[in-house]
Amino acid sequence: MNQYDEGRGSTGDTTGAAAPAPSRTAREHIEQTERFAAHNYHPLPVVLASGDGAWVTDVDGNRYLDCLAGYSALNFGHRPERLLRRAHEQLDRLALTSRAFYNDQLGPFAEALARLTGKERVLPMNSGAEAVETAVKVSRKWGYLVKGVEADRATVITMSGNFHGRTTTIVGFSDDPVATDHYGPFTPGFTRVPYGDIGALDEAIDDTVVAVLFEPVQGEGGVVVPPPGFLRDLRELCTRREVLMVADEIQSGLARTGRTFACDHEDVVPDVYVLGKALGGGLYPVSAVAADDDVLGVITPGTHGSTFGGNPLAAAIGHEVAAMLATGEYQERARVLGERLESGLRKLVGAGLLAVRARGLWAGVDIDPRLMTGREACEGLMRRGVLAKDTHGSTVRFAPPLVATGDEIDLLVDALAGVLAQARS
């Protein structure tokens, strides 16, 4: 037993392998969505209507353990009481001002996030992609104004298997054809090296390189952890070659991996943190770039901005999130529960799983493709009351909210064991 064991929620009617067929209401929602919304996603056939902590409930009253947690945007679970209270309070006072004026929430948020990251300044935005774009622009400008790179020659090095968002510039450096096909031409000034290959990085750096943009753990790639020592080597290389180390911690940061930032696992401090997802507490899109003055100081009035970035509601929520993370409680939960998740999943290697990769409460498992696809595994899990998301054909990712209990982590492992056993029988 440990302090996180307590409480195993019930999945209602969905614990068996044969869930009831979607009701007429659910079917109508699905048909309406398919009819009127663009088909840029292929959701599981479940229509969610409410959420509470680690659990969501569909329109038919079936409960599911949410093991995707909004791609880690829901680290604190659904409708976390403390954040909800703060958001309601702020909504009742002031929600949006634009940055044409000061507001009484942005300063406290900026200070709290600067202290959490150990950086001198932050630049608030909304979505993760906007924060990545901001980091790219800041890096280029730093390259011209501080490093002295020749005009319009700046290069940013990215890594194979990356996922940094969906804007035209960002997909331009993706190597996933699903993300890139028919969206070109793309923004020049990016090169790509194999993920985790320090030798390739060293070779790729020339006088035009201003930054290395990387994920300390690749989430969309399938929870890919770089080789031990890579982050430290990267830090040393970036310092030696005068290149900014830009860590996209949008998914890996803010306690998910058992530390505040995934870079902390190698005691490494990047020059730039890119943050999003959980920064909005699962309630609202809040993202930010954090860096010291020598980097973020290149941004001057009028040269970058966003109507919604740093608005009072976003700042109030982001401030509360930073305060919640300052205690270390969620990081510790992710560490302890993550060990339990990883050891449970490892027992399934050879029983339908080919591999398990994990860091903190975040795991990617490769399903034996002879048994089923990742999508089929997720459908099987859904029928057993667990929601998760496949990626790259046969990988399934698990990122339960950090407020899940140990018993709920066991429930997830049991559900996966059941799906695999059924496929093997």
Ligand X SMILES: Cc1ncc(COP(=O)(O)O)c(C=O)c1O
- Could you count the other beta carbons within 10 Å of the beta carbon of residue 166? 15
Cβ proximity to ligand X: between 22 and 280 the closer is 280
Cβ proximity to ligand X: between 219 and 418 the closer is 219
Local structure of 208: helix, strand or coil: coil
- What secondary structure does DSSP assign to 342-384, as a single string? HHHHHTTBTTTEEEEEESSS-EEEEE-TTT--HHHHHHHHHHT
Number of H helices, E strands in the chain: 14, 15
Q: Of 60, 173, 271, 277, which is the active-site residue?
A: 277
Contacts with ligand X in 68-97 (CB under 6 A)?
71
Pairing of strands 55-58, 63-66: antiparallel
Contacts with ligand X in 106-145 (CB under 6 A)?
127-129, 132
How far lies 130's CA from each of 26, 125, 275, 287, in Å?
34, 6, 10, 8
Output the smallest distance, CB 4 to ligand X, in A.
26
Output the smallest distance, CB 318 to ligand X, in A.
14
Cβ proximity to ligand X: between 149 and 275 the closer is 275
Cβ proximity to ligand X: between 217 and 345 the closer is 217
Local structure of 228: helix, strand or coil: coil
Please write down the HEC assignment for all residues of 255-296. CCCCCCCHHHHHCCCCCEEEECHHHHCCCCCCEEEEECHHHH
Output the smallest distance, CB 219 to ligand X, in A.
5
Give the x/- contact pattern for ligand X in 223-252, rule: CB under 6 A.
Answer: -------------------------x-xx-
Side-chain half-sphere CA neighbours of 308 within 13 A = 11
Q: Of 60, 66, 233, 248, which is the active-site residue?
A: 248
Output the smallest distance, CB 131 to ligand X, in A.
7
Q: Of 66, 76, 109, 163, which is the active-site residue?
A: 163
For position 360 contacting ligand X by CB under 6 A, the verdict is no
The crossing angle, in degrees rounded to 10, of helices 312-326 and 106-117 is: 30
For position 15 contacting ligand X by CB under 6 A, the verdict is no
**Tokens linked to 382:** 């859904």
Rounded Cα distance between 79 and 369, Å, is 37
Output the smallest distance, CB 91 to ligand X, in A.
22
Output the smallest distance, CB 180 to ligand X, in A.
15
Give the x/- contact pattern for ligand X in 151-180, rule: CB under 6 A.
Answer: ------------xxx---------------
**Tokens linked to 347:** 């027992």
Total residues binding ligand X (CB under 6 A): 15
CB 103 within 8 A of CB 94: yes
Output the smallest distance, CB 248 to ligand X, in A.
5
Instruction: Please identify, among the stretches 22-30, 37-45, 102-110, 215-223, the one whose residues bind ligand X according to the rule CB under 6 A.
Output: 215-223
The residue nearest ligand X at its CB is 128
Residue 248 annotated to the active site: yes
Cβ proximity to ligand X: between 164 and 383 the closer is 164
Tell whether the torsion through CA atoms of 240, 241, 243 and 245 is positive or negative: negative
Cβ proximity to ligand X: between 103 and 127 the closer is 127
Residue 277 annotated to the active site: yes
Element (H, E) at 35: helix 24-36
Output the smallest distance, CB 411 to ligand X, in A.
25
Q: Which of 394, 395, 396 is nearest to 386 (CA)?
A: 396
Cβ proximity to ligand X: between 215 and 342 the closer is 215
Cβ proximity to ligand X: between 140 and 164 the closer is 164
The type of residue at 281 is: G
For position 215 contacting ligand X by CB under 6 A, the verdict is yes
* DSSP state, residue 224: B
43-49 contacts at long range (C-beta below 8 A, 24 or more positions apart): 44/378, 44/379, 44/382, 44/387, 45/382, 46/22, 46/382, 46/387, 47/22
Residues linked to residue 48 through DSSP beta bridges, in sequence order: 58
Catalytic residues: 163, 248, 277
Per CB under 6 A, residues contacting ligand X are: 71, 127-129, 132, 163-165, 215, 219-220, 248, 250-251, 276
